[in-house]
């Protein structure tokens, strides 16, 4: 499987390219489907070149099959994704955790780690470029 094909599919379905070179984070990767496992994540880490196979402790027996499974799940039709989605990425000013905010949300976004109100902070004119 082509590395760029996998990267584009993951970016399209997750909307996340926060890790080096535009790859998604693990949390967004796992949000694709409950069928994804830690072995699948390690296959992605191997494919994108983060680690050598000998440095990964939980690779699937058949890496190509795992990558094809991931690509298949990325290409699965998702009715809830038919609507245009838009996200912004911020580091929480209070606890520094990376956050992905849905721009179409109705309520204020509260950091799930420290209860900081990100939307209030933005309304107060604080802007952070990432």
Domain boundaries, given as residue ranges, for the chain: 3-81, 87-123
**Neighbour count for residue 43 (Cβ, 10 Å):** 25
Grade residue 127 by pLDDT with cuts at 50, 70 and 90.
Answer: low
Q: What is the pLDDT of residues 73-119, one digit of tens each?
A: 998 866 455 445 667 777 888 888 888 777 767 677 888 888 888 77
Instruction: Supply the pLDDT for residue 68.
Output: 96
User: With the CA atoms of 47, 22, 98 and 130 taken in that order, what torsion angle do they form, in degrees rounded to the nearest 10?
Assistant: 160
Rounded Cα–Cα distance for residues 41 and 45 (Å)? 6
Q: 27 to each of 15, 16, 34, 85, how far by Cα in Å?
A: 12, 10, 12, 18
């Amino acid at each position: 499987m082509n590395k760029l094909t996998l990267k584009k599919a993951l970016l399209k379905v997750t909307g996340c390219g926060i890790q080096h070179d535009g790859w998604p984070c693990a949390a967004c990767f796992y949000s694709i489907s409950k069928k994804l496992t830690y072995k699948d994540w390690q296959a992605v880490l191997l494919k994108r070149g983060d680690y050598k196979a000998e440095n990964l402790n939980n690779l699937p027996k058949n890496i190509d099959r795992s990558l094809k499974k991931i690509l298949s799940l990325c290409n699965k039709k998702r009715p809830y994704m038919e609507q245009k989605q838009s996200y912004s990425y911020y580091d929480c000013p209070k606890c520094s955790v990376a956050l992905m905010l849905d721009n179409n949300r109705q309520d204020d976004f509260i950091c799930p780690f420290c209860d900081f109100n990100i939307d209030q902070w933005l309304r107060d004119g604080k802007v952070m470029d990432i």
